[in-house]
Structure 1
Amino acid sequence: MFVTLSNTNPDPLYKQVKDQIVQAIVTGELKEDELLPSIRTMANELKISVITVKRAYADLESEGYIVTRPGLGSFVTSINKDNLRDEKLKEIRERLKEIADEARRYYIEIDDVIKMLKEIKEEF
């Protein structure tokens, strides 16, 4: 199973499941039209509630990552990586705004934050 849950992760279990499936789709670990484990199988393997996995799958379906075919199961859909990139850029921008706002409240200059980002870039 490619999903591993952590009790130390502050995210709810359904979000951990969802995020790891999205990551597997984006990286190509899960391919287009690949069948996901059934909700019950995933719940049993992860030792969590069926309702938790059902919530993760429902979110994945509403966000366009999977499609559920009655009687057949849930399958990975084709994703547009450009759209996914654009969505992720918007999400990162919002998080950066939050960081900039927090920095401002503590009298930390944006240039200092930019310097930290450049240092992080060098680490990569």
Structure 2
Amino acid sequence: MKVIIQHNSMIPIYEQLANKIKTLIIENEMKEQEALPSVRMLAKDLKISALTVKKAYDLLEKEGFITTIHGKGSFVLPVNKNVKKEEMLVTIQEELEQFIQKAEHSGISKEELKKLILMILEDE
């Protein structure tokens, strides 16, 4: 599982991890019933605390993305298509917000940005 944690981000590490795993599940890169890495193994791979990984897994379980079977591990649950679409919209919104901030920091006006987006949409 490819996960990149940004230690200088304002988003807590456990949320970054949970969001990345959600994205992998939503984009079908992790399949239903697929096992997630063990808490200890993922913590070691990412060089973060096992408690941080456990907190991310607990959040994913609470939100219905995974289930944990004591002694066996954590597994991907089936995803409701409406939930999947809503999660993708949230992900896209977050990415757009970052894109808009980057454009504003680069001196691109909102009007120029709107024209650019409309031009791209019309080309498709």
Tell me how far 1:53 sits from its aligned partner.
Answer: 0.4
Aligned length: 110
Tell me how far 1:33 sits from its aligned partner.
Answer: 0.2
TM-score normalised by L of structure 2: 0.71
CA RMSD of aligned residues (A): 2.9
1:21 matched to 2:21? The reply is yes
Report percent identity of matched pairs: 40
Which stretches of structure 1, 4 residues or more, deviate above 6 A after TM superposition? none
Which residue pairs with 1:6 in the alignment?
Answer: 6
Provide structure 1 residue ranges, at least 5 long, that are not aligned to the other structure: 97-108
Q: Which moved more, 1:5-14 or 1:49-58?
A: 5-14
Which one-letter code corresponds to 2:50 in the other structure? Answer: V
Assess if the C-alpha contact under 8 Å between 2:36 and 2:74 holds in 1.
Answer: yes
Which SS does the other structure have where 1:10 is aligned?
coil
Which residue pairs with 1:60 in the alignment?
Answer: 60
TM-score normalised by L of structure 1: 0.71
Provide structure 2 residue ranges, at least 5 long, that are not aligned to the other structure: 98-109
Pick 1 or 2: higher relative contact order, CA cutoff 8 A, min separation 6: 2
Cα distance change on mapping 1:66 and 1:114 into 2, 3 Å: same
